[in-house]
């Protein structure tokens, strides 16, 4: 995608963004490059001065859709400086034995990115752009939709003040105040669905001299059927580990009440990880337990004046590593629509944006929930791993016709999420017919397997 050139500011079209997180700061870059003065308002303090407060700080997996959005404003190289490529999953069983699954073809990788580092880098880049003003500590008290006015409160002083806008972009996260105002308008749908699981952030320590004590260029998974732990690498040699765990039950957050409970549980269930986690019990009780929510709503636009993007429009659970990437793709799509339809046609742009993005983000929400089951349970199943090997053989034999679902979602940014999910379901139905004939990789070459695959592909595509 071509880099957007800087253009002269258009004083008659002030644009406001609520939220200076990942999507808000990237959107500010896009709009400023189109020549608009941009005002960004953020409820929290500046993370570059205060540290990242509130929200999730799970390490993020940046993949091709996100990279394309970053490249669109020429900042991909800046972001690569704070990321680590991960080429495969490494699964740890209950005895510490390892199995491996590549993410894509050779040299394809997703990147481990620290949320705070990425946010700070994007904020620095946005503030360097002429016409961008970011104001922190601004709480949205009320949104006057007909009057196009933000009623804001300065968190530090308590002073309330109004800001007029021509266009407002709600990029203020899963519990968006902008969306809250839209929900009170007529015929607005909204739903939120929580998993019965929470998450707890923990740390796998760096080794001597800042070395990585696990394979650096991989995402590590400890699948345990009803729960799992993952770990993503940091630049300092540590890993950000996250336990996804039921709230209630025999094995749950509710069941781990003392340091002894935690030590016994982790030593039993994650024996190879515990020696690498010297602060385990302290972190377990000091770090909050986060919730996991899927949010769907529609419409995303109010007339021609307000538009939701990112988690404000479509928050998802983190099990496909696509929440940030989907939000960044929102910026790409909005920019493409402005190119196609023009800056003076906002009603059509906003309608086209929500019409195009809604089916895709709904599909991505379904994919994230689907992948939760895969990560916690199926990646430890030898039959599942064998199926993945057979799928790789089919993909090699029928290139372009059979693309693994993960590759469609993660490494094929020109394929929409909805198209990827539909193709993945067709391929899963084919594998349900093929796998009863497969006991090992060599069985793929049997005439009956080859015939079945060829016939199934011919009818499916």
Give the CATH number, domain containing residue 352: 3.50.50.60
Mean pLDDT calculated for residue range 331-345: 96
Q: Are residues 329 and 283 in the same domain?
A: no
Q: Are residues 121 and 181 in the same domain?
A: yes
pLDDT-based confidence at 13, cuts 50/70/90? low
pLDDT tens, residue by residue, 263-318: 999 999 999 999 999 999 999 999 999 999 999 999 999 999 999 999 999 999 99
Examine residue 415 and state whether it is found in any structural domain, yes or no: yes
pLDDT at 7: 42
Q: Are residues 203 and 57 in the same domain?
A: no
Does 12 score more than 90 pLDDT? no
Q: Which domain holds residue 121?
A: 15-82+113-191+294-371
Examine residue 200 and state whether it is found in any structural domain, yes or no: yes
pTM (2 d.p.): 0.93
Q: Are residues 61 and 185 in the same domain?
A: yes
Does 238 score more than 80 pLDDT? yes
Q: Are residues 120 and 267 in the same domain?
A: no
Does 8 score more than 50 pLDDT? no
End position of a domain, from candidates 240, 257, 291: 291
Examine residue 89 and state whether it is found in any structural domain, yes or no: no
Q: Are residues 125 and 64 in the same domain?
A: yes
Percent of the chain with pLDDT over 90: 86
Examine residue 239 and state whether it is found in any structural domain, yes or no: yes
End position of a domain, from candidates 273, 291, 309: 291
pLDDT tens, residue by residue, 40-69: 999 999 999 975 544 445 689 999 999 999
Examine residue 128 and state whether it is found in any structural domain, yes or no: yes
pLDDT-based confidence at 380, cuts 50/70/90? confident
Examine residue 401 and state whether it is found in any structural domain, yes or no: yes
pLDDT-based confidence at 377, cuts 50/70/90? confident
pLDDT at 58: 67
pLDDT tens, residue by residue, 30-42: 999 999 999 999 9
User: Secondary structure of the chain in the HEC alphabet?
Assistant: CCCCCCCCCCCCCCEEEECCCHHHHHHHHHHHHCCCCEEEECCCCCHHHHCCCCCCCCCEEECHHHHHHHHCCCCHHHHHCCEEEECEEEEECCCCCEEEEECCCCCCCEEEECHHHHHHHHHHHHHCCCCEEEECCEEEEEEECCCCEEEEEECCCCCEEEEECCEEEECCCCCCHHHHHHHCCCCCEEEEEEEEEEEEEEEECCCHHHCCCCCCCEEEEEECCCCEEEEEECCCCCEEEEEEEECCCCCCHHHCCCHHHHHHHHHHHCCCCHHHCCCHHHHHHHCCEEEEEEEEEECCEECCCEEECCHHHHCCCCCCCCHHHHHHHHHHHHHHHHHHHCCCCHHHHHHHHHHHHHHHHHHHHHHHHHHHHHHHCHHHCHHHHHHHHHHHHHHHHCCCCCCCHHHHHHCCCCCCHHHHHHHHHHHHHHHHHHHHHCCCHHHHHCHHHHHHHHHHHHHHC
Domain count for the chain:
3
């Amino acid at each position: 995608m071509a880099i957007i050139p800087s253009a002269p500011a258009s004083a008659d079209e002030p644009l406001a963004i609520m939220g200076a997180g990942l999507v808000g700061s990237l959107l500010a870059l896009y709009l400023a490059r189109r020549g608009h003065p941009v005002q960004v308002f953020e409820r929290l303090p500046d993370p570059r001065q205060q540290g990242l407060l509130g929200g999730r700080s799970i390490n993020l997996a940046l993949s091709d859709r996100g990279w394309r959005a970053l490249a669109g404003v020429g900042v991909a190289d800046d972001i690569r400086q704070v990321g680590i490529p991960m080429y495969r999953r490494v699964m740890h069983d209950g005895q510490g034995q390892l199995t491996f699954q590549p993410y894509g073809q050779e040299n394809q990788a997703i990147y481990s990115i620290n949320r705070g580092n990425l946010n700070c880098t994007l904020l620095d880049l946005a503030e360097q752009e002429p016409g961008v003003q970011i104001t922190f500590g601004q709480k949205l008290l009320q949104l006057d939709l007909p009057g196009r006015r933000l009623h804001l409160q300065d968190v530090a002083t308590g002073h309330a003040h109004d800001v007029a806008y021509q266009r407002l972009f709600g990029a203020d996260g899963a519990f968006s105040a902008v969306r809250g105002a839209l929900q009170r308008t007529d015929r607005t749908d909204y739903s939120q669905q929580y998993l019965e699981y929470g998450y707890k952030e923990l740390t796998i320590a760096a080794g001597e001299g800042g070395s990585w004590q696990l394979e650096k260029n991989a995402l590590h998974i400890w699948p345990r059927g009803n729960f799992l732990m993952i770990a993503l690498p940091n630049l300092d040699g540590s890993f950000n580990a996250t336990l996804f765990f039921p709230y209630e039950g025999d094995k749950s957050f509710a069941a781990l009440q003392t340091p002894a409970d935690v030590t016994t549980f982790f030593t039993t269930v994650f024996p190879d990880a515990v020696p690498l986690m010297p602060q385990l019990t302290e972190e377990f009780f000091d770090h909050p337990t986060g919730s996991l929510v899927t949010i769907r709503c529609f419409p995303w636009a109010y007339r021609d004046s307000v538009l939701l993007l990112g988690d404000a429009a479509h928050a998802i659970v983190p099990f496909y590593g696509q929440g940030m990437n989907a939000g960044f793709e929102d910026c790409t799509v909005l920019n493409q629509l402005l190119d196609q339809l023009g800056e003076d046609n906002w009603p059509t742009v906003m309608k086209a944006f929500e019409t195009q993005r809604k089916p895709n983000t709904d599909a991505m929400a379904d994919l994230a929930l689907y992948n939760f089951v895969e990560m916690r349970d199926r990646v430890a199943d030898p039959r599942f791993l064998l199926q993945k090997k057979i799928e790789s053989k089919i993909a090699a034999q029928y290139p372009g016709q059979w693309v693994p679902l993960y590759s469609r979602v993660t490494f094929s940014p020109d394929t929409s999420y909805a198209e990827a999910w539909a193709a993945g379901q067709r391929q899963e139905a084919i594998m349900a017919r093929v796998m009863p004939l497969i006991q090992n990789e060599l069985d793929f070459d049997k005439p009956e397997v080859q015939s079945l695959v060829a016939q199934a592909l011919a009818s499916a595509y």
